[in-house]
Amino acid sequence: MPRSLLFLCVLLLAICLPSAAAEVPNIVFITLDTTRADRMGFLGNTQGLTPNLDLIARQGVVFERAYSQAPLTPVSHATIFTGTYPQFHTVTDFGHPLPSLLPDVPEILQKAGYHTAAFIGSLILDPHAGMAPGFDRGFGFFDAGFRPKTDPDEDRYSTVERRGGDVVSHAINWLGKNPKTPFFMWVHLYDPHAPYDPPAPYDKRFKDHYDGEIAYADASLGKLFTYLRERGLYENTIIVMMSDHGESLGAHGESMHGIFLYDETIRVPLIMKLPNELLAKKRVTTRVRLVDVAPTILSMLSLPLPPTFQGESLVPLMKGAQKADDLPAYAETDYPHRAFGWSALRTLRSGKYLYVRAPKRELYDQSLDKDAAHNLVSTSPAVASTLATQIDDFHDKTAIVRDKSSESQLSAEQAENLSALGYVASTGAAQPGDVLQGADPKDKIGISNVLQQGMIAVEDGRYGEAIPLLQQVLADSPLVTAAQMQLGIALAKTKRYPEAIVALKKSVEQLPDSAQSQYELGLALFETGSWKESVPYFEFVAKKRPKWADAKYSLASVYARTQRVPEAVDLLQEVIQLSPKHFRANLLLGRILTLQHHPSDAVPYLRQAVDSAPDNFEPHAFLADALDQLGDTQGATAERSRAQSLKAPSPN
């Protein structure tokens, strides 16, 4: 064990029982996505949503006024793990890599001898899906494994996101198989993020489904805490729990999160339960920040803080009896600029004030105006000017010069994955240049809500509802490419092919690299009988995403209809290699081989097609033809009568 760990807990030593210092504590590090502070029982909510977290809170230290530095998942998590501001770690958007030279908590703990593992709830933090490069650094085991939805009808909980219960059961499994201590385990639960659809009984127990998701996440965490207790690990484990950001739920006109920086999205819950219930029931009322979490953890373990850290250790506040001065809390969001071409926003909470740097500046006295409803810029211009200077100075002092070459752009495919989560990727709407240029998001918030509603409606298969919403967005902001593509998809799904083709052609023009736009365009052309015209689009997709079986099948199917049968046969064989039970590929290949008088080659494919879709009459009818060619009259008759019975309308 590294020497540093032998001297663990120097700071804790001063406050802890002698026996507690002997053992290196484990750390369970929980980030609860999109969770508002005001939903926590331990912060005053009376609905009983969080009994398990409330117990942890009673046994630990509660920070009553903790503030996030960004209302977006990867940006906030980068701050949490590196103890630096977004303008320093540069992960200011989806898909930006965590700089490899920037020290982060998991790596520091791994080097200090911790066994590290992460259990993730969403594609958005999955480096293997290209969405959060570098976030697996320092983890010996990183459990994610998400994949894009290739069809809106696919279940989101087996593609882009996982339920909290699954994340926790993976974490418990790992603990069962990896008994070595000390461990550092990151558990990320995505449940409270939209769409709000908690599993039973939480869908019924709480009228509001957002609340139901939080109650479900709490119950899932309860299983983890119970396991730790049963295994005898609980006492010597530090449990840190926070959310990365909250959710607006209509406050200031914002439905979800990402655009604004008011308390609904920036104030977050934060608890630290120490070994042996040290400092139990301690409440810290001083304002603190998520940028302080990393230095606090390392300080508790008596590990040296890297010079890059920009937050400060909260250990003195945890130990101190006296109320200390509030820490100024900075937050920012580039999302309005990157996704829509509007101005980015920055805020500083300093003293009793909240200052919003926006094209139309805002100033609120948070001691009197908790909802940030009364803008004081015109009545307190001197305060506003002072804070305006402070926030710019602070930003410049804490930023590093950004190396443009290190910023990775999301691939078109990753951008498509984002839309499955209700986000818009950087698009043609974002003009190069100053992120603080552009429309004031206050004047535009309605449009971003309409876009989110439209995208979620497409994902839920409510296409008719989505179309007017997406049209409304495009009328206001024609360069929002996500709206253009989703509109094309929704029109195609409702069989409005001519309009879909127009919309999708625009989308392909805007995003020439996007396989999904080209695939959907190919399908719409195919459906209108423009087979030859659809070929280049399907060819593009098959080349770009060689493992997408359905896209390859579509190309094969067009080849088969346009006198390119040998190419169709080769492709169908590739599809079946990728997806051996692919119904339509087996059916079409079996049929082609039958028509080419290769019945014995055809039969295995047709039998597979029967297995894949036993209630469909077609494979039985085609199999009958192949068996006829083989001279198996009895088999052919049986298959033909099976086909007839499946084709016949049901008796009632």
Binding site for Zn ion (CB under 5 A): 33, 73, 244
Minimum distance from CB of 106 to Zn ion (Å)? 18
Minimum distance from CB of 214 to Zn ion (Å)? 14
- Please report how many Cα atoms fall inside a 13 Å half-sphere around the Cα of residue 180, on the Cβ side: 10
Of the pair 244, 520, the CB lying nearest Zn ion is at 244
Minimum distance from CB of 117 to Zn ion (Å)? 20
CA torsion through residues 461, 467, 472, 473, sign: positive
Of the pair 33, 292, the CB lying nearest Zn ion is at 33
Of the pair 266, 524, the CB lying nearest Zn ion is at 266
Q: How far is CA 46 from CA 54, 161, 192, 497, 507, in A?
A: 11, 29, 18, 51, 48
Minimum distance from CB of 25 to Zn ion (Å)? 27
Of the pair 254, 639, the CB lying nearest Zn ion is at 254
Of the pair 161, 639, the CB lying nearest Zn ion is at 161
What's the CA gap between 616 and 418, in Å, rounded?
Answer: 35
Minimum distance from CB of 249 to Zn ion (Å)? 14
Minimum distance from CB of 545 to Zn ion (Å)? 27
- Supply the DSSP string of 523-586, one letter for each residue: HHHHHTT-HHHHHHHHHHHHHH-TT-HHHHHHHHHHHHHTT-HHHHHHHHHHHHHH-TT-HHHH
Minimum distance from CB of 71 to Zn ion (Å)? 8
Can you list the pairs that 305-308 forms with residues at least 24 positions away whose Cβ atoms lie under 8 Å? Answer: 305/83, 306/83, 306/103, 306/108, 308/82, 308/83, 308/84, 308/88, 308/102, 308/103
Minimum distance from CB of 121 to Zn ion (Å)? 10
Of the pair 242, 560, the CB lying nearest Zn ion is at 242
Specify whether the CB–CB gap between 312 and 327 falls below 8 A: yes
Q: How far is CA 186 from CA 27, 29, 237, 513, in A?
A: 8, 5, 13, 35
Q: Measured at CB, which residue is nearest to Zn ion?
A: 73
Query: Over the range 537-551, which residues count as b (16 or more CB within 10 Å of their CB) and which as e?
Result: bbbbbbebbeebbbb
Specify whether the CB–CB gap between 24 and 8 falls below 8 A: yes
Token pair listed for 131? 């969405």
Q: What is the DSSP letter of 194?
A: S
Of the pair 345, 515, the CB lying nearest Zn ion is at 345
Of the pair 257, 346, the CB lying nearest Zn ion is at 257
Length of the chain measured in residues: 652
Of the pair 244, 263, the CB lying nearest Zn ion is at 244
Rounded to 10 degrees, the C-alpha dihedral 172/107/316/269 comes to -50
From the number of C-beta atoms within 10 Å of its C-beta (0-12, 13-18, 19+), residue 130 rates as middle
Minimum distance from CB of 124 to Zn ion (Å)? 7
Of the pair 60, 192, the CB lying nearest Zn ion is at 192
Minimum distance from CB of 505 to Zn ion (Å)? 34
